[in-house]
Amino acid sequence: RRILLVNGPNLNLLGTREPEVYGHGTLADVEQLVRETAAASGFEVRSVQSNHEGVLIDAIHAAREDCAGIVINPAGLTHTSVVLRDALSGVALPVAEVHISDVYAREEFRHHSYVRDVAVVHVIGEGIPGYATAVNRLIAVITGQTT
Ligand code: DQA
């Protein structure tokens, strides 16, 4: 079984981008953590990062074919994108929303998430380790365990 990991715009810059906000871990570190965490429960991971909304939407649509759930950090699209939200609700897979930083403690414009109510798992402000928490909670949902 497989999980789709989606990282939105600018997350390719992790490690050098505003390290006081996002830390020093890189996107490669995130991908490795997610792969190892999923593998411990017997899941594979397909990973996509893009700065282009349509690329993310195509990857979400493709997940219908062969993924059991989606872990997504939509980055800035969290706060702006109806189409990303519609893609997630359209494929009807369980979704885990992750944010590295505590968006609710930051600027007002980060307080609204279009993804929030199409996601069943939310891990916010736990840094990069939060991706592992999100994977484990999502897998619990997929496999029907109670958390
Ligand atoms: C983010 C928070 C967003 O507000 C921001 O636009 C990002 C990253 C996070 O992981 O903390 O790009 O999703």
- Its sign, for the CA torsion 96, 102, 104, 107, is negative
What does the pLDDT look like over 20-34, one tens digit per residue?
899 899 999 999 999
Is there a catalytic annotation at residue 22?
Answer: yes
Structural domains in the chain plus CATH codes:
2-142 (3.40.50.9100)
Could you tell me if the CB of 111 is within 6 A of ligand 1?
no
The pLDDT value recorded for residue 139 is 98
**What's the ipTM?**
0.99
- 39-82 pLDDT, tens per residue? 999 999 999 999 999 999 999 999 999 999 999 999 999 999 99
Cβ of residue 78 lying under 6 Å from some atom of ligand 1: yes
- Atom 7 (ligand 1): residue with closest C-alpha? 75
Q: What are 86-120's pLDDT values in tens digits? A: 999 999 999 999 999 999 999 999 999 999 999 99
At residue 146, the pLDDT reads 62
Task: Answer for the pair 81, 55: CB distance below 8 angstroms, yes or no.
Answer: no
111 is catalytic: no
